[in-house]
């Protein structure tokens, strides 16, 4: 009986590991295919639609597509997302949305809830011949020229859009947060638009900086986003950056209820039209 029980535990653990690999790799494959299909359609729309109309269509489809993708991940039970706090920003008008950046899924989570956001992206992604058409249709902002990116960001804010800008400049490598860059503070000063910090909380290192794609994390992978302090525009960039950094270090360094281990959940669904 003892041997049978041990064998059952080994088999169960093996099945759980196999399911984890299936979910994670299938999820990455689905994401790649969704981006590829949408980028092909976006390339065609970019030639047919005026720039302003293309921007609206591009951002809406990207937002809805990301929401569908996260819904599929949650459906497996291997991922859990609590993103509802972002819904308060949908009709809040122009804001600089400034989250911390623990993983590659951060922009996907934010954009999935907010349909009119200008996203600052790496220039090589926008220039990518396969995937870049969707970013170009959405009129996302290249990060390879500081002043050019700042000018385009300010134009978007003054036009009524929101701006997604990770103030760390890259994924977090120094816990709880990297030293902040000055882009958000500069855009706030020049546009007169406040900075809304967003706290992305997760106990998982999945898709963090340096995470190997062949490694499967403990499941379920959980994310919770909550709204942080809103920083009003100020003349001193140094003070804005310093206050934001101190605030984020304090909030993210406290630890939270997500730090406790949790078994793999049964599949849960979230309505696609949930606000």
CB 77 within 8 A of CB 150: no
Which of 37, 56, 54, 34 is closest to 46 using CA atoms?
54
Q: Could you read off the pLDDT of 102-113 as tens digits, one per residue? A: 999 999 999 999
The Cα–Cα gap between 231 and 24 comes to 37
Q: Tell me how crowded residue 12 is: count the other CB atoms within 10 A of its CB.
A: 10
Residue 160 exposed, middle or buried by CB count within 10 Å (0-12, 13-18, 19+): exposed
DSSP E strands: which ranges in 123-265? Answer: 141-142, 162-164, 195-201, 221-231
Looking at residue 256, its pLDDT comes to: 55
Q: What is the DSSP letter of 81?
A: E
Which of 57, 40, 228 is closest to 129 using CA atoms?
40
Token pair recorded at residue 22: 């299936």
Looking at residue 262, its pLDDT comes to: 47
Which of 189, 192, 140 is closest to 163 using CA atoms?
140
Looking at residue 11, its pLDDT comes to: 77
Which of 70, 63, 2, 4 is closest to 31 using CA atoms?
70
Scanning the structure block, which residue is given the tokens 């992206």? 121
Q: Tell me how crowded residue 79 is: count the other CB atoms within 10 A of its CB.
A: 24
Report the mean per-residue pLDDT for the chain: 89
Q: What is the pLDDT along the chain (275 residues), one digit of tens a residue?
A: 555 556 667 677 677 878 888 998 999 999 999 999 999 999 999 999 999 999 999 999 999 999 999 999 999 999 999 999 999 999 999 999 999 999 999 999 999 999 999 999 988 889 987 789 999 999 999 988 777 788 899 999 999 999 999 999 999 999 899 999 999 999 999 999 999 999 999 999 999 999 998 888 999 999 999 999 999 999 999 999 999 999 999 999 886 545 544 444 444 434 455 54
Which of 134, 180, 114 is closest to 39 using CA atoms?
134
């Amino acid at each position: 009986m003892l041997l049978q029980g041990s064998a059952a535990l080994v088999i169960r653990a093996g099945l759980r590991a196999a399911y984890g690999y299936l979910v994670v790799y299938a999820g990455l494959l689905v994401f790649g295919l969704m981006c590829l299909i949408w980028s092909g359609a976006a390339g065609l729309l970019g030639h047919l639609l005026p720039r302003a109309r293309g921007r609206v269509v591009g951002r809406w489809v990207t937002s809805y597509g990301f929401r569908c993708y996260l819904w599929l991940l949650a459906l497996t039970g291997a991922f859990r997302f609590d993103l509802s706090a972002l819904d308060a920003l949908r009709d809040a008008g122009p804001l600089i949305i400034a989250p911390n950046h623990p993983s590659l899924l951060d922009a996907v989570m934010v954009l999935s809830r907010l349909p009119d956001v200008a996203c600052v992206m790496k220039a090589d992604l926008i220039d990518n011949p396969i995937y870049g058409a969707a970013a170009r249709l959405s009129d996302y902002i290249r990060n390879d020229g500081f002043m050019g990116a700042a000018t385009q960001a300010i134009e978007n804010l003054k036009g009524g859009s929101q701006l997604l800008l990770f103030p760390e400049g890259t994924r977090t490598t120094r816990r709880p947060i990297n030293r902040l860059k000055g882009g958000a503070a500069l855009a706030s000063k020049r546009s007169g638009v406040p900075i809304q910090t967003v706290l992305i909380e997760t106990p998982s290192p999945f898709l963090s900086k340096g995470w190997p794609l062949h490694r499967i994390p403990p499941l379920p992978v959980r994310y919770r986003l909550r709204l942080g302090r809103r920083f009003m525009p100020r003349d001193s960039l140094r003070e804005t950056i310093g206050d934001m950094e101190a605030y984020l270090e304090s909030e993210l360094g406290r630890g939270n209820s997500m730090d406790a281990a949790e078994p793999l959940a049964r599949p849960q669904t979230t309505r696609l039209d949930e606000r």
